[in-house]
Structure 1
């Protein structure tokens, strides 16, 4: 079945599907050539090929800064790249290429998901249950991509500002041959975007599989588990801790997902060829290799080369000397790199050619989400402590389990859970958003080696100037960039 995964993540679609997806987003011009869509959805195989383009575009949207911004903009990384300093300090210009590329590539994925969601029910002529599954997978991916965008562009979206402006909710494929400014979508509120994400995930849940015959597919495609996990993350970002706890409860004693006894098996040294996904992955983008040519090329993460910076002493100082997350998952990286010689980096991404599995949601995140949510709703409860102990003891054989009496207050327990999230999930694209949603400050080290606060209005990226210009102002800029 591995060849099937190769098809999922490496497929270069023929023109018949490309013509459906050539327009990256609602704000672009439509493609000049079109193809009858019914030809694509006559068979399960061709429809699945179109669906796999959504997976591929989701990878394209998350293979660079959209993923690493979650960590390189925090004190986990000592940034040395001059270009990256603008991102880290909140000084991006409104016409910055990074903000525009993230926007463009993510809306490209959303647009192809819209094609599946609309066209399969209307034009599909294959097995009805499989049609429903394909639509459900597309809804999961649309929700995932909208959440990526929400946390980067939504004004106050992680701070409970539900009336803040978020994103244009494009829920139908782009149509038409000419851009008309008065038809351009405006930015929906954070509340409206959150509501749509939850709606997509809730509608997807009944029609998704629990698991596939092949374990790699179970962790690389949308399942009931990945929906519950993403819903848990959504509710955590919203501050709805009761719902976050309910969704993450799906993973308690769930035999499909298990914590590995050692972290090196979760993040093995990558050969650059097919590398299995460990059982604790709920959703990941897998490394694939076919015919001697890596289907994805490289993911352009800067960790191995240390071209952006290196792991900070501040982060390393939070561990004991027996913790696997230091002994096994921190190393020098490329010893021949011209960048930051002798400094340390993460080995979660360790292939010299950038050919690694990409973690999107892991079981350890769900343990810590449930622990935090239970503590915030029920106080110092044993289950929250047990979940914290499970993650900490797995990483460090010398760790001694906590007792409830070790924490004077519920806030002390929550603080310790948040520290464990930082240690466990570092370099997986999440830390920035934990900082923002918990009311802490984003900081960067200036040229004098002193930490400064990022301006409060720059906790989100600018709406790309190009998008504002071509809509003639239908899209408005985030307040911090006016």
Structure 2
């Protein structure tokens, strides 16, 4: 070994000893400038980033896959390309699955992911440090908190209507509370209602401009109406139906509604000022003479002029019925809440938040679900909205010839016009309409009929039908009748107006006729898809088996599974 090489080795050894001697000091030094769980939420910008993560779940491919697989493919308005009993999806739509089915697990997990992210906002909102203690500073934080409450309610609503009662997760989760028993469906619904009632008083009537797409008061009230409707039983009197009427009077007719009324405020449970502070209204001691002070008698922002059943875009320009579902119709007068998608504009891959499956899974040469002539006739008969179904070798509104395959029909609600298509594949920016004003009208009409006000229900029902008649200048309207006759007409209009928006299965369940309708459908199919639906069992899906196993019996399974 030469001397130069020996010297080099000694230099390396000495350097290593020096570095090891300094390791202890280095590792014990405080890391400066990084976010920790103590300071991550200390500004509104960081809190907004956490809120964005909860919105992000709505955009995920898996979330939307589960929406149509459960809400549409399990019902009677479509056929599917994956209905063989050898696949997890085929077993799902046949109702011949086991409790380890991957789609049952996927829907459970993706909604809890949204809940966890919303909880991060709600649990940490009080860590925000305001730089200015003025009314607008409190309002900005309050609106972020209100949106998180809406999103949490939406995710829990998806869970409770799919599985029944589910565990209500702690806002701050620790090792000690990761496994908790299921709450009852009634308890989960009460939890959802509380979030939505509070969100309604915390949010502006409707977000516009660059804020369009955020959950607002209109979205909170509309979802509250739907949550109440899912708890009410058709044909049975209940306070739920009565409250839907009251909310409909506010939303549609413009009848004033106070904070106290929508909250069902009870000062024996919580004082008004304590509630104001919890929801980030400006504390009374900090209010300036020019600042408003909200009380339980403060009126909610009116909504009846914020929405319309007329086919008009965001700016008030006339559009066609089907254009409500295209990019030109995003945030239109008839849209209450949308899942917002944006193109990446650079063709980047691996993004789960692009909205592509809305186009490729449903409007393509190899679709996963489609409709048939017989189903279309059953849904629409001669209704003008039938014209917005498209079959093989037929022309789309922009002149494209549909290559759907013989006998297959698609809803143009799933169509992306050529001019709206992304530059890069797998990067669709088409928004999904989650709550529409038409459904608010229909919920109001149904509740009126349930409360013995069939004459008023008919007026609301024909208010919507008259707008649809403008498509072809027809004059067909619904006619009055007894309770059952009116109910059936309202349900018929729900099926026509809301078809192919991924909610049919759950609508049948809450109406109490899923078994009847799906078994009749299954009897007509050669593969008997749906014929083995078990009444009293399959209205709910099982809790994923992995949840039962990991809880060591704390989480119990639904009956029949």
**3-state DSSP class of the match of 2:47?**
helix
In the TM superposition, what are the counterparts of 1:154-165 in structure 2 within 5 Å? 154=164
Contact conserved, 1:277 with 1:286, CA < 8 A, in 2? no
- Give me the whole-angstrom Cα distance separating, in 1, the residues matched to 2:329 and 2:484: 40
Residue in structure 2 matching 1:186, options 181, 184, 200: 181
Quick check: 1:364 aligned with 2:438? yes
Quick check: 1:288 aligned with 2:345? no
Quick check: 1:237 aligned with 2:230? yes
Match of 2:452 in 1: 378
Per the TM alignment, residue 43 of structure 1 is displaced from its structure 2 partner at its CA by: 2.4
Of structures 1 and 2, the larger Rg is shown by 2
Match of 2:218 in 1: 225
1:317–1:449 Cα change, 3 Å = farther
| Structure 1 alignment gaps of length 5 or more | 1-33, 155-165
What does the per-residue CA deviation read over 1:96-150, in whole Å, with 9 as the maximum and x for residues that have no partner? 1111111111111101111100101234435222112111111110001000111
Quick check: 1:104 aligned with 2:109? yes
Alignment RMSD (CA, Å): 2.7
Q: Would you say how many aligned residue pairs link Structure 1 and Structure 2?
A: 423
Per the TM alignment, residue 390 of structure 1 is displaced from its structure 2 partner at its CA by: 2.4
- Give me the whole-angstrom Cα distance separating, in 2, the residues matched to 1:335 and 1:469: 51
Contact conserved, 1:70 with 1:427, CA < 8 A, in 2? no
| Structure 2 alignment gaps of length 5 or more | 1-33, 132-136, 233-239, 254-303, 312-319
In the TM superposition, what are the counterparts of 1:123-134 in structure 2 within 5 Å? 123-125=128-130, 127-134=137-144
Contact conserved, 2:388 with 2:411, CA < 8 A, in 1? no
**3-state DSSP class of the match of 1:169?**
coil
Per the TM alignment, residue 319 of structure 1 is displaced from its structure 2 partner at its CA by: 5.7
Match of 2:206 in 1: 211
What does the per-residue CA deviation read over 1:437-461, in whole Å, with 9 as the maximum and x for residues that have no partner? 1221341536635572511212222
Match of 2:29 in 1: none
What does the per-residue CA deviation read over 1:324-364, in whole Å, with 9 as the maximum and x for residues that have no partner? 42212444489786x75441011212137554211110000
Match of 2:493 in 1: 420
In the TM superposition, what are the counterparts of 1:75-94 in structure 2 within 5 Å? 75-81=76-82, 82=84, 83=87, 84-94=89-99
1:124–1:454 Cα change, 3 Å = farther
Quick check: 1:328 aligned with 2:388? yes
- Give me the whole-angstrom Cα distance separating, in 2, the residues matched to 1:290 and 1:282: 25
**Could you state the TM-score of these two structures normalised by the residue count of structure 1?**
0.80
Match of 2:157 in 1: 147
**3-state DSSP class of the match of 2:122?**
helix
Contact conserved, 1:99 with 1:461, CA < 8 A, in 2? yes
**Could you state the TM-score of these two structures normalised by the residue count of structure 2?**
0.70
Residue in structure 1 matching 2:146, options 136, 143, 152: 136
Match of 1:348 in 2: 413
Contact conserved, 1:114 with 1:172, CA < 8 A, in 2? yes
- Give me the whole-angstrom Cα distance separating, in 2, the residues matched to 1:249 and 1:124: 40
Match of 1:474 in 2: 554
1:135–1:43 Cα change, 3 Å = same
- Give me the whole-angstrom Cα distance separating, in 2, the residues matched to 1:50 and 1:395: 41
More deviation, 52-61/237-246:
52-61
Match of 1:22 in 2: none
1:297–1:110 Cα change, 3 Å = same
More deviation, 126-135/362-371:
126-135
Quick check: 1:199 aligned with 2:194? yes
